[in-house]
Chains A and B, each alone.
Chain A
């Protein structure tokens, strides 16, 4: 089966970041592969290793996102396509989905895997937007994925509100992946060396038949500023004999918080 993973470069949340004058400032240039997309790549690799096939990756981003695409190649993807956009475009999920849709209209695939959300925006929209634009069935928030060799059906275990649903989808289809699915592999030195010889296309949106002016019309939402999340104040910290502090806690829950 032919898999494509849509991958995104995101800032490392563990890196230093702050808000100043409504703007989000990153005090480091630590960028990484979106964790959910790493799980999507991993799962596609595992399935193609088991049932045969091939995994390509596609990324929409700035020039510097190239290294993230390279990482997916080092994990084992066979080819990368980087669709470069201009800085300052401020695309939302709808905008990215539109560009990805233009790309996939010229590609052949069985399964597109996405992350269930971007770690930086926590939006979780691009996957189902893209599936709709391509008119293909999809499942989101997958915690398990496989292919039934006999029927050729894609089997998704998705985390729902209550319990999990096991769904089968015919190819071509799209699946968005949770990081509960697997533990993505760390590229080996050999993988990194090989990645340098793998095919890598860098194209711009014009190649896909889109104009920069089109891109602005795709954007439906805009972020006007950032703030710190209002914090909670630490309360009472109790240390000492377990008997004493438990007694104190139950008293507080009962009489102060009134939650018992």
Chain B
């Protein structure tokens, strides 16, 4: 019996959240006397084998095909089904990325698995998966379990630490003879914006803008601050709605879940639909002119004041602190 971990690749790198999940899966497998295997599905899946070998897995499946150049759900589903049929795991884990959210239900339906999506933590005891899921915009946690023969679990980023463990995995190259004519969807175009420069979901520092950022001048300040910090840019729904920031940058219930070392919420009130995507950040800084804004309830450091006055000073001081 084994736990099979999907290793997500994005922009030529393994997603940190996959390694977090893999590290935790290894821990659970050990407790339950099980093995851990991994699967990499990518145009160049083989390239990532050495890195995954550092995580104490017994088998690494690779599935390579030019079809994985861009995310498209039907070939990814077929690849996942193929490796599930080969490995027959008790549990399969995933990092909860948009690509996985797209296919998880279909894979679960195909394999008649129990599916527990977007968990904050999980464990395996006597063949039953017990997981904690943030629900209702993370207002509550739902203790969720499944004792199905196969359980699929996707895990929120930042839920576990990355821990290496030596091992020498057997590498299994899986043939993928998927007929392209079976793909009924066609990609017309991929639109990426400048805000996508740093992968937001993996960023160490995030500078996030809210409705308090009213105009181009404010946006420029956000850009400058993110540049001096080497941060990714995030946004609340308000400024995505106005079109000032791309939907790719949205953080929260509808948007992405992030857990950086440092999160700066600038002109964001702190509605639960926003905070559900960022409460697990290590350090939260809030800049808001309203001393009663709920964001201050979760901020380590709160600055009460006008962002248009504070940001230029902050940019200058961080520059000098970094040049020290």
Contact = CB atoms under 8 A, between A and B. Distances in A.
A165 B187 contact: yes
Residue of A11, A124, A220, A225 with most partner-chain B CB within 10 A: A220
A239 B306 CA distance: 11
A85 B143 CA distance: 24
Q: Is the interface of B mostly helix, strand, loop or mixed?
A: mixed
Given A97-B109, A159-B248, A238 B192 contact: no
Contacts of B167: none
Interface string A87-106: 00000011001000000000
B227 to A, nearest CB: 14
Interface string A215-241: 000001111111111011011111100
A217 B306 CA distance: 57
B102 A128 contact: yes
Contact of A234 (B143, B189, B299, B317): B299
A229 B141 contact: yes
B219 interface: no
Given A235-B300, A247-B317, A257-B262, A97 B105 contact: yes
B47 interface: no
Contacts of B146: 220-222
Contacts of A178: 247, 254
B97 A122 contact: no
B214 interface: no
A239 B304 contact: yes
Interface stretch (B24-32, B54-62, B83-91, B129-137): B129-137
Given A155-B188, A246-B313, A259-B205, A232 B298 contact: yes
Contacts of B72: 167
B163 interface: no
A206 B92 CA distance: 35
A186 interface: no
A164 interface: yes
A257 B283 contact: yes
Given A133-B109, A160-B98, A178-B254, A122 B134 contact: yes
Contacts of A24: 140
B67 to A, nearest CB: 14
Interface string B177-221: 000000011111111110010010100010000000000000000
Interface string B248-282: 10100110000001100000000010000001001
B205 A237 contact: no
Nearest to A224: B143
B224 to A, nearest CB: 14
A166 interface: yes
A119 interface: yes
B139 interface: yes
Nearest to A173: B184
A117 B203 CA distance: 25
Contacts of A128: 73, 102-106, 109
B101 interface: yes
Contacts of A161: 10, 71, 97-99, 199, 201
Contacts of A19: 140
Contacts of A125: 104-105, 108, 115, 117
The 7 A-B residue pairs whose C-beta atoms are closest, nearest first, are: A163-B192, A128-B105, A125-B105, A220-B114, A235-B300, A137-B184, A129-B105
Given A161-B71, A180-B250, A235-B299, 14 more contacts: A24-B140, A169-B185, A170-B184, A178-B254, A220-B114, A220-B146, A224-B145, A229-B139, A229-B140, A235-B300, A238-B301, A245-B310, A252-B301, A260-B321
